[in-house]
Amino acid sequence: MEPVTVYTPCYNGARYLRRSLPALFAQTLPPAEILVVDDGSTDGSAELARELGRGAPVPVRVLAQPANRGLGAARNRAVREARTPLVAAVDADVVAEPGWLAALVAELDDPSVHGAGGDLRELYQQGLANRWRATHMRQSWGDARLEGVPFLYGANHVYRRETLLEVGLFDERCRTNGEDVDLGRRLLEKGRRLVYTPAAVCHHLRRDTLPSLLDTYWRWRFYGNRRDLSLAWTLKQNRGNFRWWPEHLRADLSAREFGNLAVDLLVPFYRTWRDWKALLASGTAGRARISASVRPRVE
């Protein structure tokens, strides 16, 4: 197996690092190095990562960003700083099982495979918001190994470093999410094969409230699908917000998850409101586009 660097992008994730970093120290396939990219945290994340790294069985290096630049930029910093042919990642709020890294890296023994992702399981599912997230925001491709998946979830994956450099790394406009979907699209356009293996298991430590759940779900689609912030794009998003709505309702009714129905009904209206808010907040140009589009036509 080729040597691998594991990195963790971290923004105010100190409350998770005491569980996520020791899990990386305990991997059956030890990484050559662990990088913690501190993205302008204000909660002591960098200091804690250095403390946990002292005397660890794996070298730990903290890369401090001078200010919060977002997830895409944090990932790119780690890839540029890595010194190994393979680069793996877990989010700060993710705890990897001991065999996680070995299972991922084994997939890259096949030289035609350029990246592999694993199964992220929600550790906390109590409460309406957490249960809905576990049902409808699962960061996993399921229980069976799959070849040719369209992208690898950012929360846990491994890539060939040269492959990432070849396609220009992650899109740094994606500050909170969507960078993984965008990268997958560009890799597939170049014919690069990605694999999903459920043998690589991680656990998600996130807990949500209803407001945080709605905000995250909106950002997933906004950054994942954004092309041009315009009236036409916003209207297209609005149609999509309601087009898939019955799917969630049917799934929850079929599974007798009746507690999820209130969120099912709320989500499309919330996302539509956030789409318009984003357009209006885009500045004078955005407001001018709306004004020109709705002005009565003069014949």
DSSP per-residue letters across 9-22: EESS-HHHHHHHHH
CATH architecture observed for domain 4-204? Alpha-Beta Complex (3.90)
Output the pLDDT for position 3.
94
More confident residue, 121 or 290: 121
Output the pLDDT for position 299.
24
Output the pLDDT for position 177.
85
Strands 86-90 and 156-160: antiparallel
Continuous H helices in the chain: 14-25, 45-53, 71-81, 100-107, 128-136, 161-166, 179-189, 210-225, 231-243, 245-254, 261-280, 284-294
For residue 221, the tally of other CB atoms under 10 A from its CB is 18
pLDDT above 50 for 97: yes
Three-class secondary structure of residue 121 per DSSP = strand
Sign of the C-alpha dihedral, residues 51, 53, 55, 56?
Answer: positive
Say which range, 13-22, 83-92, 187-196, 211-220, has the weakest mean pLDDT.
211-220
Segment 212-229 mean pLDDT: 75
Segment 152-162 mean pLDDT: 97
More confident residue, 221 or 129: 129
Rounded mean pLDDT of the chain?
89
More confident residue, 155 or 283: 155
The percent of residues in the chain predicted with pLDDT above 90, rounded, is 67
Segment 118-124 mean pLDDT: 96
- Structural domain boundaries of the chain? 4-204, 227-294
pLDDT above 50 for 290: no
Name the pLDDT band for 224 (thresholds 50, 70, 90).
Answer: low
Output the pLDDT for position 286.
43
Output the pLDDT for position 294.
34
CA distance 55 to 155: 26
CA distance 53 to 116: 26
Radius of gyration of the chain (CA): 20
Output the pLDDT for position 227.
53
Smallest CA-to-CA distance from 88 within 146, 148, 152, 134 is with 152
Name the pLDDT band for 236 (thresholds 50, 70, 90).
Answer: confident
Cβ-proximal residues to 196 (8 Å cutoff; 6+ apart), any chain? 116, 117, 118, 141, 142, 145, 146, 147, 149, 152
Name the pLDDT band for 234 (thresholds 50, 70, 90).
Answer: confident
Name the pLDDT band for 242 (thresholds 50, 70, 90).
Answer: confident
Segment 19-39 mean pLDDT: 97
